[in-house]
Structure 1
Amino acid sequence: MGVEAVGLVAGAMTTAAFVPQAWKTWRTRSAQDFSLALLVLLVAGNSLWLGYGLLKGATGLVAANIVTVPLTAFILSVKLRRG
């Protein structure tokens, strides 16, 4: 497996980890169990990873974070609106 393939698989797995939680948040309209600090740091950190991936031309980082940032931002927005 090549280096880029490892990045793509890792990105797919870590991004997929957020899908069930985002779905649950969508269904329940609640992010009560999440720490606000966790969500803020995740959105900021994943946004920076996305920027870094774009600057470096790292397909795996871009692909993963272009999905992860909106997922985590959605959960954060629910947290901010509803607790």
Structure 2
Amino acid sequence: MAYLGVIAACLTTISFLPQAIQVIRTKDTTSISFMMYLMFTTGVFFWAVYGIWLRDVSIAGANVITFVFASVILFYKYREVRGKSK
């Protein structure tokens, strides 16, 4: 059953890679909701902390990596939102 968690963690984590690559390449985040990504990234951070606290490699590892990918996207989105307010 532990393999199921590892497979799920890998799939959900890797799913963010294409979006992160696209945002880095194009710098385009116009179709992404800032509030949604802020809440999502915060939630992933807490999942990572929870996984570390439980010493669960699947939960911690997947969420740390997802947090990095989501943070990159959030950073670019923040720059876009900040640029519009100037």
TM-score after normalising by structure 2: 0.89
Contact 1:15 1:65 in 2 (8 A): yes
Residues 16-59 of structure 1 deviation map (CA, whole Å, 9 limit, x = unaligned)? 11011001001101211110111011110100000000001111
Larger radius of gyration: 2
CA RMSD of aligned residues (A): 0.9
Between the aligned partners of 1:74 and 1:50, the Cα distance in structure 2 is: 16
Correspondence for 1:69: 67
Residue identity opposite 1:36 in structure 2: F
The higher relative CO (CA closer than 8 Å, separation ≥ 6) is in: 1
Correspondence for 2:58: 60
Runs of 4+ in structure 1 displaced over 6 angstroms?
none
Between the aligned partners of 1:32 and 1:15, the Cα distance in structure 2 is: 23
| Alignment of 1:13 onto 2:11 | yes
Map 1:29-68 to 2 at 5 A: 29-68=27-66
Correspondence for 2:84: none
| Alignment of 1:81 onto 2:79 | yes
TM-score after normalising by structure 1: 0.92
Q: Give the paired residue count.
A: 81
Report the alpha carbon displacement of residue 11 of structure 1 after superposing the two structures with TM.
0.7
Query: Which 5+ residue runs of structure 2 have no aligned equivalent?
Result: 82-86
